[in-house]
Amino acid sequence: MSANIALVDDDRNILTSVSIAMQAEGFVTRVYSDSEAALQAILDNPPDLAIFDIKMPKMDGLELLRRVREKSNLPVIFLTSKDEELDEALGLAMGADDYIKKPFSQRLLIARVKSILRRTELMKLSDEDADTEGLEPLVRGNLEMDPARHLVKWRGNNVTLTVTEFMILETLANRPGVVKSRNQLMDAAYQDDVYVDDRTIDSHIKRLRRKFREVDPEFDAIDTLYGAGYRYQE
């Protein structure tokens, strides 16, 4: 069954070009130039992934994401302009899975969409309906991760992570004490040779820490080694 992609942008030219490119790859697209209408449609009939422009009238992409996140962990990619670095960081902190700067190539956007959808499908696997070899629960000190069900707990408290956050954390927790470079974390979280810059990984790490500190203010299991990368400490 083809994945359903929701596109939200007040620029109708972008909506048309992205929709055509997505349909050529076999995706089903739903396009919205009005973010308020998009919000209701997405909540009523959730797509498999959504692409939001940040700068939109009435309700910008950040507010749209905030409202969606109140009800759903839907994978979201942001489209940003070159001068929107602060908005990018805010978007990632609020739970976006990725962002792409305008102008962008359709090929890059499609590669990012496919990568996130593949990781999302992996997280949906269960031991009742799929071979879960390699998806056994992972326990590292106070951390519990169940890749087959996309569940994370810290000191018994649930922590809700996006697909990208889960993949980064799993990569770190699989080898406690071992330093993982940003490039290694990129390889784990983004496949198909999809390029992301260092700031994206750093933003995901900051968001991971923030989410764990919401359930445990003393959380300090992810270390930064400046110039080298990150490591998980039990």
Phi, psi of 90 (to 5 degrees): -65, -40
Percent of the chain with pLDDT over 70: 86
Alpha helices in the chain (DSSP H): 12-24, 35-44, 61-69, 85-94, 106-124, 163-174, 182-189, 198-215
pLDDT in tens, 35-73: 999 999 999 999 999 999 988 988 999 999 999 988 888
Query: What does DSSP assign to residue 48?
Result: S
Per-residue pLDDT band at 145 (split at 50, 70, 90): very high
Q: Look at residue 219 and tell me whether its pLDDT is greater than 90.
A: yes
Name the average pLDDT for the chain.
85
Strand partners, 140: 143
Q: Tokens standing for 57?
A: 């009238």
Q: Compute CA 208 distance to the chain's CA centroid, rounded to the nearest angstrom.
A: 12
pLDDT value at residue 124: 65
- Per-residue pLDDT band for 193 (boundaries 50, 70, 90) equals low
Write down the pTM of the prediction: 0.67
pLDDT of amino acid 128:
44
